[in-house]
C-alpha cells in the first residue's frame, strides 16, 4: 500500500493500547491490515487487486423467493451494516409462498452491504449481502 512508516508506527502504538484485534485501512493504493497476535502486531500490506479479491464474501440467494432484511414480525433488520456476524447467524430471509427461510452468514465477519432490495423477488444466485470476513486466526 505504500503507507507512511511513521503513520504505521503510530497506529501500531495506539492499537497496542486497546483490545482491538484487527485494524484495516483501505485506499486507492491498497489495503493495510494491522493484526494483533499473541506475540505482538503483524502488518499486512495488500496491493489493490489482492485487497479487492479478498475483501468480501458475497452471500447468494439459494433459491427463488422474496428477499426480506427483517422477519415480518420484527421491527429491526436481522443484521445491520457493520454488525459483527458469526458463521451461521441469520442475516435475512427468503419468503417462498407461505414459507420463510433464513439466510445465514457463511463466515465470521462484519456486514458490509445489503446488495438486494428489501421485498424484491430474487432468483437463484442473486447477490444478497456482502460480508467482510474475519482473517483466519484472528479472534473478535
The reply to whether 72 and 112 lie within a common domain is: yes
Run of H or E including 85: strand 84-85
The reply to whether 105 and 42 lie within a common domain is: no
Domain residue limits at 108:
57-133
The reply to whether 79 and 91 lie within a common domain is: yes
CATH number at 125 reads: 2.40.50.100
Looking at residue 91, its pLDDT comes to: 97
pLDDT in tens, 41-96: 777 776 655 544 456 899 999 999 999 999 999 999 998 888 889 999 999 999 99
Looking at residue 67, its pLDDT comes to: 96
Task: Please state the separation of Cα 107 from the chain's center in Å.
Answer: 9
Looking at residue 1, its pLDDT comes to: 47
Where does residue 16 fall: left (phi above 0), alpha (psi -120 to 50 degrees), or beta otherwise? alpha
Mean pLDDT calculated for residue range 23-51: 70
Q: Could you tell me the pLDDT band of residue 136, with boundaries at 50, 70 and 90? A: low
Q: Please tell me the distance from the alpha carbon of residue 66 to that of residue 101, in angstroms, as a whole number.
A: 10
Is residue 140 in a domain? no
The reply to whether 119 and 75 lie within a common domain is: yes
The reply to whether 110 and 124 lie within a common domain is: yes
Looking at residue 34, its pLDDT comes to: 78
Looking at residue 66, its pLDDT comes to: 96
Sheet containing strand 65-68, strands side by side: 99-104, 90-96, 65-68, 121-122
pLDDT in tens, 4-20: 778 778 887 887 778 77
- Read off the pTM: 0.61
Residues, the chain? 140
Is residue 29 in a domain? yes
Amino acid at each position: 500500500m505504500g503507507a507512511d512508516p511513521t503513520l504505521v508506527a503510530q497506529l501500531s502504538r495506539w492499537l497496542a493500547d486497546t483490545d482491538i484485534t484487527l485494524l484495516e485501512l483501505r485506499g486507492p493504493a491498497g489495503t493495510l491490515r494491522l493484526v494483533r497476535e499473541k506475540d505482538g502486531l503483524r502488518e499486512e500490506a495488500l496491493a489493490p487487486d489482492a485487497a479487492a479479491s479478498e475483501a468480501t464474501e458475497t452471500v447468494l440467494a439459494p433459491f427463488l423467493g422474496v428477499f426480506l432484511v427483517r422477519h415480518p414480525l420484527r421491527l429491526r433488520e436481522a443484521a445491520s451494516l457493520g454488525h459483527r456476524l458469526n458463521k451461521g447467524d441469520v442475516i435475512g430471509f427468503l419468503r417462498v409462498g407461505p414459507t420463510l427461510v433464513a439466510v445465514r452468514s457463511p463466515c465470521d465477519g462484519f456486514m458490509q452491504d445489503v446488495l438486494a432490495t428489501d421485498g424484491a423477488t430474487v432468483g437463484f444466485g442473486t447477490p444478497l449481502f456482502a460480508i467482510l470476513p474475519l482473517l483466519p486466526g484472528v479472534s473478535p
